[in-house]
Chain A
């Protein structure tokens, strides 16, 4: 046991050329690309999956004193403030920054660099709504005839669930969002634990009973891509661009890395054209590079116009409270007034 331990410690120090990248569990890239990078640089990449975006970041914050990785990828704008305030990331002005879309550069200190972005969005089942009317405005969702058709994810346990909650805050305001949710609750909205359950057990295309689901703007395109030619057109569609929630995923170099040069090369590589063009069909996000070409199937994933955004600082400050208030109203059945009074 001890000998194995000693060997491992030796390995950990001996192979300084290994770069560890802490990622969220949705991370995925073409193996060929990874192998090519390793060949060309002589670096060895080791990916560690740390749960969803929030969990992954928290693991990095917790181990600040003895970092467990050189690079962290996947924390998004809802966690940006927490990442920056925790002071775990080194600034890096990558030469690739000039190639990135300027609107994504949310961190003026160049610690968190954008890798990709996307939107959490409502999806609907086209077959179900073929001869039934779709809701016309976000507020219509709260009407009982639509609320009982909708499945959302619990914001306390799911990142798309949290994004959708934030979208309602942005859309209906601090005062209105709880009323909206109270109506959804009374109308019979269903709350699932996470995205997989919502999509694969409650969404009508997969034998569920809810034709409206909180998912991503790219999901209809993915449906076509993963259908092996069965669908020429997506069986699902996006609804309400004005309720879509904008997410940017960042990469950063962790303080305490033993191989700063190597970590920088990994960041450059993630922002390079080949990787950026691989991201859409691997992780179903849009590449941050301006000159990255989108795959053909992304014509089914148009970027929503007029989507809502919140200030990263506001999100960091209020996230816990929103989740708490949402839980009180939707799960514990309290009235919005009572919850609002409790704020003071």
Chain B
């Protein structure tokens, strides 16, 4: 098992720490202290904190009841679950377009929320709800036994939930809240698109300092502040104690009203996207397919699928190895989350300094994808792994299994739902092009998301319609992939 941890550390060392070190090394000098004394940056910092915390609270407060509802088997359960992860893959300009069409200055609902915190928080909820749900759900599925026991012993349902269910869920809540916090805290596009520059996060400042001004000392100071903050958040979360639970399963189906209610909820949550599908222009899809002015959709689709497959092949073993190692070592837990704590632009510039010969090469691209995808996979896997009863593993060992064999044959099958969820999140991170922000891009690598950006960079109806059509297609394909993944081999029910 130690090899797994070594594998993760080796990867992190090459793909993250060394390039990051090259950038931070440029940051020693004048300006470091000045940046920390600048009240403007502290304002950005406080706003990032506020946005991160509020987003995490709002998302958890909805994801928790949802996770309980999803413990049951009901019609369209898989569809709803697949839907919940969809926003993660959508390019921010497209989502912003949807939100503003609904709640913008000339929005359909007649309420102009442009530039208000409400709209920013709604967007954070929209993006992160699926993430939180997918982390809570695998543990929520194991809760029925303990809850029943509590009720048998005389506790009311409420009391059983508060005194038994909630404490058992705490590690998963921590994991989910932490991730939402990290994503909102370091959000880049969404606050700028929906609220304007007033709502720039600290991450935006880091980006400007690095990419436009080459002001390394200032950028390093702010980056260290980010890492310290997120490190503190992780340290807090690590204090949550996991409890071993026997594996559970789906509960019997509820009345139809359940499905209807959830349907209405998702209809509302995804309102910003309906416009995308209602306006879907099949003609635009056809013209995009063999476009002469832009990257043809056929090429972009092939690239997306190819890169996704290749990057998953790297992210899956990384994620599992990291989850296995982090279960025992809090230090590994912290280190493995680093890819999300560090400004992507810093790592990207670091690559150029550290590996000039690898620029524009496929392995570097795939490593970048995997780097930002594996932590999500592991975050979904960890709470479930931690809640497994150690006696299962001990039994397997007593019966003569090697640790690796026991892990792969006993524990992994038991946390299969969590693995599926984790895979879905990793897939979302890859389809959402998180990795693309790290490397220099080659035109022939254009994927679906980048084909959208490419079109949104030229003025005209055709590129506009094609961009919206490709976004709808991206949503459709991602939804389908998530759905297939959730159904897995029928283990959900």
Interface residues of A (CB under 8 A from B): 4-5, 8-9, 12, 20, 22, 25-28, 46-51, 54-55, 58-59, 61-63, 66-68, 154, 156-157, 190-193, 195-197, 199-201, 206-209, 215-216, 219, 222-223, 225-228, 230, 236, 281, 284, 320, 327, 331
Query: With contacts A208-B105, A331-B198 known, is A8 near B361, CB below 8 A?
Result: yes
Nearest residue (CB) in A for B460 is A226
| B261 touches A (CB below 8 Å) | no
Check A222 against B460 for contact (C-beta < 8 Å): yes
In whole angstroms, what is the CA distance A25 to B455 when docked? 12
In whole angstroms, what is the CA distance A191 to B353 when docked? 34
Check A207 against B443 for contact (C-beta < 8 Å): no
Measured between beta carbons, the chain B residues less than 8 angstroms from A157 are: 192, 197, 204, 208
Distance (whole angstroms) from the CB of A217 to the closest CB of chain B: 11
Distance (whole angstroms) from the CB of B324 to the closest CB of chain A: 20
Measured between beta carbons, the chain B residues less than 8 angstroms from A219 are: 459
Measured between beta carbons, the chain A residues less than 8 angstroms from B204 are: 157
In whole angstroms, what is the CA distance A53 to B301 when docked? 28
Check B360 against A46 for contact (C-beta < 8 Å): yes
Check A227 against B461 for contact (C-beta < 8 Å): yes
In whole angstroms, what is the CA distance A225 to B204 when docked? 35
CB-contacts of B355-383 with A (<8 A): 356-361, 363
In whole angstroms, what is the CA distance A223 to B104 when docked? 24
Check A226 against B356 for contact (C-beta < 8 Å): no
Measured between beta carbons, the chain A residues less than 8 angstroms from B456 are: 196, 200
Can you name 24 A-B residue pairings with CB atoms under 8 Å? A4-B363, A48-B440, A54-B211, A54-B212, A59-B349, A59-B352, A62-B349, A62-B353, A63-B352, A66-B353, A154-B197, A157-B197, A157-B208, A192-B196, A193-B197, A201-B100, A201-B193, A207-B106, A208-B105, A209-B104, A222-B458, A226-B458, A226-B459, A331-B197
Chain B: residues with Cβ within 8 Å of the partner, total of 46
Check B363 against A58 for contact (C-beta < 8 Å): no
Cβ-neighbour of B211 out of A49, A55, A284 (below 8 A): A55
Check A197 against B96 for contact (C-beta < 8 Å): yes
Nearest residue (CB) in A for B468 is A200
Distance (whole angstroms) from the CB of B389 to the closest CB of chain A: 36
In whole angstroms, what is the CA distance A9 to B96 when docked? 42
Check B460 against A197 for contact (C-beta < 8 Å): no
Measured between beta carbons, the chain A residues less than 8 angstroms from B360 are: 20, 46, 48
Distance (whole angstroms) from the CB of A29 to the closest CB of chain B: 9
Main secondary structure of the interface of A (DSSP, over half): mixed
CB-contacts of B185-206 with A (<8 A): 189, 192-193, 196-198, 204
Check A225 against B460 for contact (C-beta < 8 Å): yes
| B213 touches A (CB below 8 Å) | yes
In whole angstroms, what is the CA distance A27 to B193 when docked? 24
| B463 touches A (CB below 8 Å) | yes
Distance (whole angstroms) from the CB of A158 to the closest CB of chain B: 10
Check A226 against B463 for contact (C-beta < 8 Å): yes
In whole angstroms, what is the CA distance A206 to B462 when docked? 12
Nearest residue (CB) in B for A34 is B443
Distance (whole angstroms) from the CB of B106 to the closest CB of chain A: 5
Known: A193-B192, A230-B461. 7 other contacts (CB 8 A): A54-B211, A68-B356, A191-B197, A193-B189, A225-B460, A226-B461, A284-B458
In whole angstroms, what is the CA distance A5 to B93 when docked? 36
Measured between beta carbons, the chain B residues less than 8 angstroms from A8 are: 357-358, 361, 363
Cβ-neighbour of B101 out of A4, A190, A207, A230 (below 8 A): A207
Query: With contacts A20-B360, A68-B352, A208-B106 known, is A49 near B442, CB below 8 A?
Result: yes
In whole angstroms, what is the CA distance A8 to B286 when docked? 38
Check A48 against B359 for contact (C-beta < 8 Å): yes
Nearest residue (CB) in B for A320 is B213
Cβ-neighbour of B196 out of A46, A54, A190 (below 8 A): A190
- Closest A-B pairs by Cβ, 10 of them: A226-B460, A209-B105, A66-B356, A196-B456, A226-B462, A193-B192, A48-B440, A219-B459, A49-B441, A12-B357
Measured between beta carbons, the chain B residues less than 8 angstroms from A206 are: 464
Distance (whole angstroms) from the CB of A304 to the closest CB of chain B: 17
Measured between beta carbons, the chain B residues less than 8 angstroms from A327 are: 197
Nearest residue (CB) in A for B367 is A1
Check B196 against A9 for contact (C-beta < 8 Å): no
| B214 touches A (CB below 8 Å) | yes
Check B460 against A58 for contact (C-beta < 8 Å): no
Query: With contacts A8-B358, A58-B212, A284-B458 known, is A201 near B97, CB below 8 A?
Result: yes
Nearest residue (CB) in B for A82 is B214
Nearest residue (CB) in A for B364 is A8
| B30 touches A (CB below 8 Å) | no
Nearest residue (CB) in A for B444 is A47
Distance (whole angstroms) from the CB of B83 to the closest CB of chain A: 24
Nearest residue (CB) in B for A63 is B352
In whole angstroms, what is the CA distance A320 to B197 when docked? 17
Check B192 against A223 for contact (C-beta < 8 Å): no
Distance (whole angstroms) from the CB of B353 to the closest CB of chain A: 6
In whole angstroms, what is the CA distance A25 to B459 when docked? 15
Check A68 against B359 for contact (C-beta < 8 Å): yes
Check A201 against B441 for contact (C-beta < 8 Å): no
Cβ-neighbour of B93 out of A47, A196, A208 (below 8 A): A196
What string of 1s and 0s marks CB contacts (under 8 Å) between B439-475 and chain A? 0111100000000010011111111100000000000
Measured between beta carbons, the chain B residues less than 8 angstroms from A61 are: 214
Distance (whole angstroms) from the CB of B489 to the closest CB of chain A: 31
In whole angstroms, what is the CA distance A51 to B208 when docked? 12
In whole angstroms, what is the CA distance A48 to B441 when docked? 5
Check B197 against A227 for contact (C-beta < 8 Å): no
Measured between beta carbons, the chain A residues less than 8 angstroms from B104 are: 201, 208-209
Nearest residue (CB) in A for B287 is A228
Measured between beta carbons, the chain B residues less than 8 angstroms from A59 are: 349, 352, 440
Measured between beta carbons, the chain A residues less than 8 angstroms from B358 are: 5, 8
Check A49 against B443 for contact (C-beta < 8 Å): yes
CB-contacts of B87-122 with A (<8 A): 93, 96-97, 100-101, 104-106
Measured between beta carbons, the chain B residues less than 8 angstroms from A156 are: 197, 208, 212
